[in-house]
Structure 1
């Protein structure tokens, strides 16, 4: 998918001119915008001195530019709707300049990152871009801006070795379609991939990498423009996360191929792979007998960007199927874990599921997955009973980590395959 970001430079430059110059008076105003880039801080109200910049701005929110008198200015971020100050910072503002003020870091160590710009317009047919590292948990990174699909093997990073709070000088590139990829510094393996993004001539953008807890990437990009109607747009990672779980009790070991490329080798019952990043869109997933080109089963699966999926190989080998299930990797609240159940035993009847002594699911059939349930972290009793009875066929007391996300899978068979008895398999999703 190609994303397009329209240039707002002409409007922004006009606003700068109207606010900042006069035939009678020298320039006395700077232009200021604020960005909430702290992943765990609450919504904020923001001020530059007595000038209100934002009200109730949440994570990833950005404002349009606001004229602020030049000179030394104190920026204040308060918890929204209160006078409780979370952050203050001072800067010497220069008339005619534009300043992006980001609240960055975790709430416990909130900081202001102030990125100045001289306000110069990009050249004819060009796009002006500045890159900011605003993700506190991410290491130093290299940023590549290439033609879509270009190999990184011989590419030179547009920004190299940028640590948290670092920002690049203004870069000018011709208006065109680009692919933005972020790697750990010195690596050529992307941890973020924008897919194809069209940058429109005249655009003046700040691309801020902020924390992201979902999907294949630890960061997402906020594209900050001078368009007051659309000051920010998110450019999410263009990949999905996919893992494979061998849950067919009598199927041999398999290799997993995605779009013709071998992703996993020799996955045997009841193994589960780690998550793999896969370009979003329709993906061809197939299972081959391990070490061969003999396909056992294949399917085309639609994959959404930033979504995680578990693809289970289920049923007896004679009726083997691929069962894709969307995973919710959103972190639970502090002190909690997330747990879901999935019925993957081909000859077991419908079941009820009990967690911590309470019935949470009723009449779950083969191949059905429950929603994720919030449960207290720590030792948690899980019981699976034949529907409508108190006959427990499976039980366990796993210890669930604070913040952990899990899938409890009933796999194996009731009686037909002694080598694959009915088992409660706990998978760690995150």
Structure 2
């Protein structure tokens, strides 16, 4: 009986080792294809271009392009899969798609993120925020605010008499707020600069990110401080 047990254990170990080796090789092969996420842990990343003068931009995670197409100012890529873990986010922009911003990012599995390209050429930043995809209460929408305008310090956002965010500095974001679904005049204030957007409609059950983009005090249509909006869900 002792001999049988010893022989069986060796066989089991041999088989287990073979299975482990095969699994390791399988995972390694899949990681050779940076767009194959079968059997891997991944996050979902959305990219927003909030820089008015950087030009169209693309997001790379560990040197792999994660935006199918270059993203124009004020637009978003939508969510794309990225491997989980500590990685390097790089943005290429302009006609030559040169590197304009780099940052280390932590991407956790089964988590959604938004990465902003923010600020102005020569001093661009990447802002990473975690997206809470938990649905709001029935009849409500969920909203948060991110300040992606480099000179809009202490920005505040209100919907009518409802304060969504107050005194949010550049590269920072607010917590989520639930608000009754409907149409609102969203008012963004930074110092003496006030921006009103009367065409914001929030749908029940939806999640939104509003963000400051452009340059406070600039009056040109291309660079003026404005409110951007992205529907996360």
| TM-score, normalised by the number of residues in structure 1 | 0.44
CA deviation after TM superposition for structure 1 residue 386, in Å: 4.2
Query: 2:66 touches 2:81 (CA, 8 Å); kept in 1?
Result: no
Check if 1:147 corresponds to 2:26.
yes
Structure 2 counterpart of 1:395: 197
Q: How does 1:7-46 map to 2 (within 5 A)?
A: none
Counterparts of 2:195 and 2:94, CA distance in 1:
33
Counterparts of 1:334 and 1:253, CA distance in 2:
38
Structure 1 residue runs of 5 or longer lacking an equivalent are 1-122, 128-145, 153-187, 196-237
Q: Aligned in 2, Cα 1:393/1:299: closer, same or farther, shift over 3 Å? A: same
Q: Aligned in 2, Cα 1:304/1:357: closer, same or farther, shift over 3 Å? A: same
2:180 to 376, 385, 401: 376
Query: 1:312 touches 1:322 (CA, 8 Å); kept in 2?
Result: yes
Check if 1:414 corresponds to 2:216.
yes
Query: 2:66 touches 2:82 (CA, 8 Å); kept in 1?
Result: no
2:98 to 294, 300, 305: 294
| Structure of larger gyration radius | 1
- Structure having the higher strand fraction is 1
1:364 to 131, 148, 168: 168
CA deviation after TM superposition for structure 1 residue 406, in Å: 0.2
Question: Higher relative contact order at CA 8 Å, sep ≥6: structure 1 or structure 2?
Answer: 2
Q: How many residues align?
A: 211
Structure 2 residue runs of 5 or longer lacking an equivalent are 1-10, 17-24
Q: How does 1:126-165 map to 2 (within 5 A)?
A: 147-151=26-30
| TM-score, normalised by the number of residues in structure 2 | 0.78
Counterparts of 2:188 and 2:56, CA distance in 1:
28
2:65 to 257, 262, 269: 262
1:405 to 207, 212, 222: 207
Query: 1:285 touches 1:301 (CA, 8 Å); kept in 2?
Result: yes
Counterparts of 2:178 and 2:144, CA distance in 1:
9
- Structure having the higher helix fraction is 2
Q: Aligned in 2, Cα 1:335/1:239: closer, same or farther, shift over 3 Å? A: same
Residue 211 of structure 2: SS of its match in structure 1? strand
Counterparts of 1:274 and 1:249, CA distance in 2:
19
CA deviation after TM superposition for structure 1 residue 362, in Å: 2.3
Query: 1:357 touches 1:381 (CA, 8 Å); kept in 2?
Result: no
Let me know the Cα RMSD of the aligned residues. 2.9
CA deviation after TM superposition for structure 1 residue 189, in Å: 6.2
Counterparts of 2:156 and 2:49, CA distance in 1:
24
Structure 2 counterpart of 1:246: 49
Counterparts of 1:412 and 1:295, CA distance in 2:
20
Q: Aligned in 2, Cα 1:124/1:278: closer, same or farther, shift over 3 Å? A: same
Check if 1:321 corresponds to 2:200.
no
Q: Aligned in 2, Cα 1:321/1:360: closer, same or farther, shift over 3 Å? A: closer
Q: How does 1:278-357 map to 2 (within 5 A)?
A: 278-290=82-94, 292=96, 294-357=98-161
CA deviation after TM superposition for structure 1 residue 301, in Å: 1.0
Q: Aligned in 2, Cα 1:263/1:383: closer, same or farther, shift over 3 Å? A: same
Query: 2:144 touches 2:164 (CA, 8 Å); kept in 1?
Result: no
Query: 1:249 touches 1:269 (CA, 8 Å); kept in 2?
Result: yes
Q: How does 1:82-101 map to 2 (within 5 A)?
A: none
Query: 2:101 touches 2:124 (CA, 8 Å); kept in 1?
Result: yes
